[in-house]
Amino acid sequence: MSEFAFELALCAHLERSSTPPIADSNPLVARQIGGSVADPGGRILDIVCVEPGLEFDARTAITDAEIPDAAIESAVGPGRSRYWKDAFDCHPNHARRAMERACEIGFFESERRNGREYVRQVARYPDWYDRIVAIENKPDLGRPGDLEMQLRTDVSLALVDEVILATESYVSRAHLHRLPDPVGVWRVHRDRDRSGGDPSAPERESSGKVETEAGVGVEIEVVREPTPLPTAGPGIEPLAFEPGRTEIEPVSAAEKARARRRLAERAYGKGWRTYDFPGCASCVPTDEAAATLPYCAWAGDFVDANADCGPDCPGYESAAAPEVDLDGERDRRTAWRASPSGHRRQQSGLDQFR
């Protein structure tokens, strides 16, 4: 199975699993989220599960989009409106982009006075998330790539609460010895005939726990449980691994806290349904995994429209791309809410709103 197909199948499973990686919660699932601090973009987390916190409902009421971090960090509050240039401690161009985006998505509202633009928050930014779990997908451990370096970075930085490796391969003791001890390991079994999981079928022999979900066609065998990481303290981010030498950057606890908020916000706004459906007759939407996914009958699996499809493919047959409402599906099946009514209020005076 390609890493893309593996990732979609696992995301769909986690979204409806009765035993998610964060117990007793309904986590937000997202994929391809930045997981670096000192080197932005240097580490991309395959799957992220964010546990909703006590004020999650307040977050869903503000906007369905990612809120710019500069807008959250700014001195703009929900009370008296402020001239926007006095409220940001960053480059003016970055500040303007953040201010305009915050207004566009409904986190700020603005008014003009004497040719100047004043802004205020429509609501206090809530403490809306709790634990964060990262899952690294590596279907074939025979082609590990930079797996060991990636996992060592995650453990050393400790930006997320837990790290898990998910694979289709048999996991030997030698594999486990090469992985950092805190990293949990899942072996993922997927029903290849697309007939869905059968809860009455005998479980695979394993020393670990096995989870079976009817209709999803995915089973998770827990080979090793993850160990919680020290997210509240400082971390060390490896920047480059060379023989006999590793370039590192210390990261403070405050920097990690801000990065965790950016990660959670990105996961909230993005989710995992970020794929397209190709204009090909061989590819049809399927809800095999209780989510609408791009299944290609010629390839026999889920496909990436931007990487796997096109006239060069032997199974390509030009057709209109199907119309699929992925945001609507996310709204129906998760705690995320599309297009909330928000908190915009009518102006009744220069600085007063009712």
141 and 218 share one domain: yes
Residue 340 lies inside a defined structural domain of this protein: no
Lowest mean pLDDT among 74-78, 215-219, 288-292, 310-314: 215-219
Strand partners, 184: 164
Terminus-to-terminus CA distance in the chain, angstroms?
56
pLDDT for the residue 330: 96
The structure's pTM equals 0.88
Q: Are residues 172 and 251 in the same domain?
A: yes
| 211 backbone dihedrals φ, ψ, rounded to 5° | -110, 130
Could you give the number of structural domains in the chain? 2
Alpha-carbon distance of 170 to 264, in angstroms, equals 32
DSSP code, position 215 = T
Least confident of 49-58, 274-283, 285-294: 285-294
Half-sphere CA count of 298, side-chain side, radius 13 A: 13
Over range 33-50, report the average pLDDT: 95
- Locate tokens 């709790």: which residue? 130
Task: Return the minimum-mean-pLDDT range out of 24-33, 137-146, 161-170, 196-205.
Answer: 196-205
Residue 241: its pLDDT value, please? 82
Does position 336 have pLDDT exceeding 50, yes or no?
yes
Tell me, yes or no, whether 111 and 178 share the same domain.
Answer: no
266 within some domain: yes
In this structure, the answer to whether residues 51 and 73 fall within a common structural domain is no
22 and 167 part of one domain: yes
Domain final residue pick, 121, 141, 165: 121
Note whether 17 and 149 are same-domain residues. yes
d(CA 314, CA 59): 46
pLDDT tens string 119-128: 999 999 999 9
Over pLDDT 70: what percentage of the chain?
87
Query: Predicted confidence band at 24 (pLDDT cuts at 50, 70, 90)?
Result: low
pLDDT of residue 245: 87
- Looking at every residue in the chain, the average pLDDT score rounds to 88
Q: Quick check: is 9 in a domain?
A: yes
Residue 117 has what pLDDT?
Answer: 96
Residue-range definition of the domain harbouring residue 104? 68-121
Question: Is the pLDDT assigned to residue 201 strictly greater than 60?
Answer: no
User: pLDDT tier at 343 (50, 70, 90 boundaries)?
Assistant: low
Q: Note whether 77 and 205 are same-domain residues.
A: no
Domain end point (choices 270, 303, 324): 270
Task: Please check whether residue 310 lies inside any domain of the structure.
Answer: no
Structural domain includes residue 307: no
Mean pLDDT for 44-59 is: 96
Boundary-marking domain end, from 270, 303, 319: 270
Q: Is 63 a domain residue?
A: no
